[in-house]
Amino acid sequence: MKRVLLIYTGGTIGMMQEAESGTLSPVDFAELGQYIPELNQIEAEIDTVAFEKPLDSSNMDLSHWQNLAAIIEQNYHQYDGFVVLHGSDTMAFTAAALSFMLNGLSKAVVITGSQLPIGRVRTDGKENVITAIEIAAAYRGERAMVPEVCIYFEYQLYRGNRTFKYNAEQFQAFRSPNYPVLAEAGVHIKYNENAIRQIRSESFFVDDRMDNRIAVLTLFPGISRHIVEAALSVKDNKLVIVRTFGSGNAMSHSWFLDALQQAHDNGLILINLSQCRAGAVQQGRYATSRGLDKAGLISAGDMVLEAAIAKSMHLLGVGHSGENFKKLFQANLRGEITEWRQ
């Protein structure tokens, strides 16, 4: 029988609505079977551990990512898979961060949550938890079916660093437009084995170094010069992700390109990432992106914003810069980018 560790960080899924007052209070996850009795029918041994203080995922930060990675590291050899219960708002950021922190991963780390509290009659949380545990415990012989960090939500299993939350009201809250689903749960769980990353030969270890001295600049028609220049001149900042239009295009005003060039010359790393949630940056294809190419911007290809942020923090935290940073940022490290698009 496989062993699965359930890690509760907080979020909507871990709430029970009190009958009299209607208020929501955290569930005692030591008594998880009381709320999801179907867990007793799963052919897996399930243990639980919870953050000392459950978080609303909007408060998730680097220290919490590092805490999660440490829990997985401390328990890695005692369990066959891991399920992380997490608020949906920043779930994709956490999935991306963990994908870079966990090196040589050969077991499933499935992150899930819900749109309705687990104590509500119509909750989506029960199915999400049950199936996430089944996926974490799924093996073919000695090999985990999904040896990577992923998100399970509303019958779909996504690669974690390819995913973003797009809907706050429907149960199908996540999308992964640039990469196919890893599995789909119906009567049976059907795995898309061609899309699942293969286990690498290296041993498992955690590298939780992250540097959050980055900023995101979202362009829009009519953006003022002082906003752009302020974003590019923040003291001690190391990197700016510039969210451009379409396939990586931006205005060609001389003041704008001069500001980018000056920032680049001053040592600031600049990333070109499209505001479009599907497709990829094709820097230099149009005249309006050739100036960005000359100014030294690095194409993010088809990465989602969440992955670009986590990957930037990780590479900076490890100490990469210059051409080495560019090479690694555009390399496919954890399945987060399609290299042929570069």
| Domain limits, the chain | 2-206, 214-341
Mean pLDDT by 10 residues, the chain (342 residues): 94 71 66 74 90 87 97 98 94 98 97 83 84 96 96 96 93 93 96 92 92 98 97 97 96 96 97 96 85 94 98 98 96 91 46
**pLDDT confidence of residue 341:** 47
3-state secondary structure the chain: CEEEEEEEEECHHHEEECCCCCCEEECCHHHHHHHCHHHHHCCEEEEEEEEEEEECHHHCCHHHHHHHHHHHHHHCCCCCEEEEECCCCCHHHHHHHHHHHEECCCCEEEEECCCCCCCCCCCCHHHHHHHHHHHHCCEECCEECCCCEEEEECCEEEEHHHCEECCCCCCCCEECCCCCCCEEECCCEEECCCCCCCCCCCCCEECCCCCCCEEEEECCCCCCHHHHHHHCCCCCCCEEEEEEECCCECCCCHHHHHHHHHHHHCCCEEEEEECCCCCCCCCCCCHHHHHHHHCCCEECCCCCHHHHHHHHHHHHHHCCCHHHHHHHHCCCCCCCCCHHHC
Q: Looking at domain 214-341, which CATH architecture does it have?
A: 3-Layer(aba) Sandwich (3.40)
Give the predicted TM-score (pTM) of the model.
Answer: 0.94
Was domain 2-206 assigned CATH 3.30.465.10?
A: no
**pLDDT confidence of residue 342:** 45
**pLDDT confidence of residue 214:** 98
| Active-site annotation, residues | 12
**pLDDT confidence of residue 251:** 94
Equal CATH topology for 2-206 and 214-341: yes
**pLDDT confidence of residue 125:** 78
**pLDDT confidence of residue 7:** 95
